[in-house]
Structures are given as C-alpha cells and as structure tokens.
Amino acid sequence: MPVLHLQDLNLGAGDALVVVDVQNDFLPGGSLAVPHGDEVIAALNRAIDVFVARGQPVFATRDWHPPNQCSFRARGGPWPPHCVQGTPGASFAPGLRLQSGTQVVSKGTDPERDAYSGFQGTDLADRLRAVSAKHLFVGGLATDYCVLNTVKDALDRDFAVSVLVDAVRAVDVNPGDGVRALDETRRWGAIFVEAGPHARRLLSPSPQP
Ligand code: VGL
Ligand code: ZN
C-alpha cells in the first residue's frame, strides 16, 4: 500500500501536528529507552518545519510524572522511574526543533493514575478546538503506548488522524507490539503518512542541480 508523504499534502487550516513524548528518558541512554527512539527526531523536525512554514499549530505532549507515580516499579507498576517532573530525563530531546509557539501538554501528573493518551486528564482537546484543528498528524514515542492511545482518543473525539509512520518507534515489550499498534490505528480509521526524507529518496532520487 502506497504511503502518502507529508510534503505532497496541501496542509492548511484545520491541520495540527501532535508530537508525542519525545523526551530524553525515552531515547537511547534514558531510563525507559525506546529502541531507536532517537530516529524519530529527523522526521519530526521535517514535520515541524512544514507546519511552522504553513502557520499551522504544533503541539508537544510530555510525560510529566511526580516522583511517586503509581506506574513506577517502586509502587508495583510496570515501569522504571522516568520523565519525573523537572528532571533532565523529562526534557524534550535537545535535537527536536520545537519552536517558541509550540503548545506543551503535560500528562501523567496524577501520582495515582497513569496516562498514556495525551488527552487523558489534560485540556488537549479544548486547545485543539481553540485553534480549529480537525486533522491531527501524530508522531513520537512510543508507538505501542502513548502514540496508540493518543490516536485512539483523537479518533474517539472525531478528529481525523494521520500517523507519521516513519516518526514513531515502539517499546516492543512483546515483539510485534509496535506493528500491531499501527495496524490497530489503521483499523480505527487513521491514515499512514511519511514525514522523513528516506522512503521517497529510495523511490525517486532527485537530480543533482
Ligand atoms: C510511555 C510508558 C510509560 C509513552 C509513557 O510515552 O509511550 N510509555 N510512560
Ligand atoms: Zn510514563
């Protein structure tokens, strides 16, 4: 199945970019490192540039946990401590070209409830509606947790969703979780779009000037 490329879409009013949890703790070397998580950055930077150039809004969600979060192992949860509010691990990846107008959405701030979706316990839906967003382009980390749940909640709230398939990476606690998560988003109605440079270059190398 051919995948659309962001550069070929005529982005405009109603389109918004949602960058999910591209934070140091989810990158190689971080406390909950997503394998190859750093590989989303180049594709997301391209997407950010496109949205900024078209004057369309960019949202960035972040996992923003208190130190005693119930999802941490110390409290019987599945995860090592990660993205603790105000720590370097919770900072956005330094290579991510977020601009000053980016709307930051913090989630997972309730110590008694984990939140994978950027919509859960946040005002993301209101903020998207405030900018008349109708179609969300979603990429980031991790495919099988926060991207999956953010896409699901967006579709449930009647946003159209394109998943930036080359700008997501999975934790893959069980092998294949990421692939299954992407399949699921498509069954729910998401569209697959590419944002990065690679696939098209393989198909049609641009002539040298
Ligand atoms: C995430 C596990 C725990 C994510 C957040 O951002 O996908 N995964 N907390
Ligand atoms: Zn978390």
Give the residue, by CA position, lying nearest to ligand 1 atom 4: 146
Cβ neighbors of 146 (< 8 A, separation 6 or more) are 20, 21, 61, 63, 116, 117, 118, 140
- The pLDDT score that the predictor gives to residue 3 is 83
Q: How far away, in angstroms, is 74 Cα from ligand 1 center?
A: 17
- Mean pLDDT value across residues 89-115: 97
Q: Is the pLDDT confidence value at 195 over 60?
A: yes
User: How much is the mean pLDDT over the chain?
Assistant: 94
Mean pLDDT, residues 171-181: 97
**Closest residue by Cα to residue 51 from 5, 11, 10, 4:** 11
Region 132-147: mean pLDDT is: 98
pLDDT tens column, 17-76: 999 999 999 999 999 999 999 999 999 999 999 999 999 999 999 999 999 999 999 999
Helices and strands (H, E) in the chain, number of each type: 5, 7
Look up residue 115 and give its two tokens: 């939140």
Q: What is the mean pLDDT of residues 111-133?
A: 97
Encoded tokens for 28: 């190689």
Look up 134 and say whether it is catalytic: no
Q: How sure is the predictor about 100, in pLDDT bands with cuts at 50, 70 and 90? A: very high
Considering only CA atoms, which residue is closest to atom 3 of ligand 1?
79
Which ranges of 78-191 would DSSP assign to H, the alpha helix?
124-130, 148-156, 177-188
The preferred substitution site among 22, 145, 182 for testing ligand 1, maximizing ligand atoms within 8 Å of CB, is 145
90-94, 122-126, 197-201: which has the minimum mean pLDDT? 197-201
Atom 2 (ligand 1) nearest CA:
145
Across residues 80-108, what is the average pLDDT? 97
- Please say if the pLDDT value at position 199 is more than 60: no
Beta pairing partners, 65: 84
pLDDT of residue 200 exceeding 80:
no
Q: Using the predicted structure, report yes or no on whether residue 198 has a pLDDT greater than 70.
A: no
- As a whole-number percent, the residues of the chain with pLDDT over 70 amount to 93
Q: Domains along the chain?
A: 4-203 (3.40.50.850)
Q: Is the pLDDT of residue 202 over 50?
A: no
Q: How far is the CA of 171 from the centre of ligand 1 (A)?
A: 9
What pLDDT, on a 0 to 100 scale, did the predictor assign at position 209? 47
Closest ligand to C-alpha of residue 109 is 2
Mean pLDDT of 112-124: 97
Residue 170: nearest ligand to its CA?
1
